[in-house]
Amino acid sequence: MTNETRKLIRESEWMRVFRIGDREEYVYESKFLIDGLHASPSDIKSKWAAFSPEEKVEFSTAFSSQPPRDDADQGILQFLMESGPEEVWRNIAILMQFHPRPNEALAFLIKRIERESGSKANYYQIVELLQGAEAVPALRRDFEEYQRQLSCGLGKDSEVSIWSEYLQCAKSLFALTKDEFFLDVLRRSQKTSPPELDYYLTHLLEEAERIEARPGTGGDEF
């Protein structure tokens, strides 16, 4: 525990932002999670068009801090699935595991994987959690594209970003297919991935090796 003080530097309808001590470190506090805030789908729908892109992202970040609690939250989730934009879809990906219709949630995630050109790691993680074998062809295409990009040589920031996506994609493919090739990719990457990702890769490998140790094959173990 730290004794450093938290200073409130900004508050919106959905969130508080605190600065920790004198450092450039911030804590984002969702009012949905901390205060038990509720919103109605009709209210969000009526305001959404007037929200700035930043407000839409902030709302979806705060809203995604906990599972949907009732029909109103499920209604908001459905609206966000239909409305986007992409930054919002990335935020709500974690909530797809609580969608009342898993097939619809999985279809949403696969569509995002197939159409999005930015970060997809959130989608890969939840597809894996949903045991979404239908997503394997889309993940394989992305995996091959990451391999192609990494073989071309990238700037430092781009390299770390692509490696991060590549490693999560490989881990999710292993979880969904039990193909040892993808586990070997993770193991070999310990020697070739950027050092900034050492902790992340270690975590992915530990998860993958726990999956490998489970009895049985296929996705039924999850």
* pLDDT tens column, 50-102: 999 999 999 999 999 999 999 999 999 999 999 999 999 999 999 999 999 99
84: left (phi over 0), alpha (psi -120 to 50) or beta: left
Distance CA 146, CA 56 (A): 29
Q: What is the 3-state secondary structure (H, E, C) of 50-90?
A: CCCHHHHHHHHHHHCCCCCCCHHHHHHHHHHHHHCCHHHHH
Among the residue ranges 12-26, 34-48, 148-162, 182-196, the one predicted with the least confidence is 148-162
Write the CA distances from 163 to 104, 147, 194, 219, integer angstroms: 29, 9, 8, 25
Domain assignment of residue 119, yes or no: no
Write the CA distances from 76 to 1, 67, 101, 108, 141, integer angstroms: 35, 12, 15, 15, 32
What's residue 31's pLDDT? 95
Structural contact between residues 109 and 93, judged by C-beta atoms closer than 8 angstroms: yes
Domain assignment of residue 118, yes or no: no
* pLDDT tens column, 136-186: 999 999 999 999 999 887 666 678 999 999 999 999 999 999 999 999 999
Domain assignment of residue 74, yes or no: no
Domain assignment of residue 158, yes or no: yes
Range of the domain at 219: 132-222
DSSP class of residue 139? Answer: H
Predicted TM-score of the model (pTM): 0.87
CA nearest to 187, candidates 172, 173, 169, 201: 201
* pLDDT tens column, 93-145: 999 999 999 999 999 999 999 998 889 999 999 999 999 999 999 999 999 99
Domain assignment of residue 215, yes or no: yes
Domain assignment of residue 174, yes or no: yes
Domain assignment of residue 89, yes or no: no
CA nearest to 6, candidates 23, 15, 14: 23
- For the chain, what is the domain count? 1
* pLDDT tens column, 193-218: 999 999 999 999 999 999 988 876 44
Rounded to the nearest 10°, the torsion over CA 52, 54, 58, 63 is: 50
DSSP-derived pairing of the beta strands 26-30 and 6-11: unpaired
Domain assignment of residue 187, yes or no: yes
Distance CA 175, CA 128 (A): 7
